[in-house]
Amino acid sequence: MDLLVKELGLSDYVTTWHAMKSFIASANQDTKDELWITEHNPVYTLGYKKNKKNVINHNIDIVETDRGGDITFHGPEQIIFYPLLNLKRANIKLLDLVVGLENLVIQILSNYDIKGKKLNKNPGVFVNNYKIASVGIRVKQPWCYHGLSFNINVDTSYFDSINACGLDIRPINLSSLSIYDKDNLKKDLILKFKEIFGYTV
């Protein structure tokens, strides 16, 4: 299967979210699956399992969105993967998509001799009980959108104003654990994504 990869650079969250919804609304059986890679200007986003008690205080925008999960923060130096996939055509179940995205991060972390792990039934990836990646998906059959955020060198002070994903767990960056090259990291993530989900490398 072919996958079209698009790098969006630094983008506005709401603009990108609306673009994803437009893509899904106009997609048909001939539409290629796409993977959008971006970073966002600082923003808090609330999923449909939101609990506003998890917002302690804030001085930036909060966007109520249609992804799964609770509240999280997005900002520069956090790599975002948005897979826009026809799940039926790709033969990917929702649970397999979530687990695959988590395994993507876990396997990339292992390249840096870092042990990433799941934590009970909480979506995302954790290192020493600190959260390094979050997953939130929306499905409008047969398509999915939203996706994965991976903390690279994001300003973690923004997380002080929320209980991210409803958990009393602090974030961690790859930059605090290892030396990395961002461009090579992105290439490795894209390659591993294709391998995990069966796309042409």
b/e string for 135-164 if b means 16 or more Cβ within 10 A? bbbbeeeebbbbbbbbbbebebebbebbbb
Contacts of 138 (CB under 8 A, 6+ apart): 66, 67, 68, 144, 145, 146
Give the bridge partners for 46, in sequence order.
64, 71
User: Which of the following is catalytic: 20, 98, 165, 190?
Assistant: 165
Q: Is 34 helix (H, G, I), strand (E, B) or coil?
A: strand
Instruction: Please report the DSSP string for 48-63 in residue order.
Output: TT--GGGB---SS-EE
Is 165 an annotated catalytic residue? Answer: yes
Q: Where in the sequence numbering do the catalytic residues fall?
A: 165
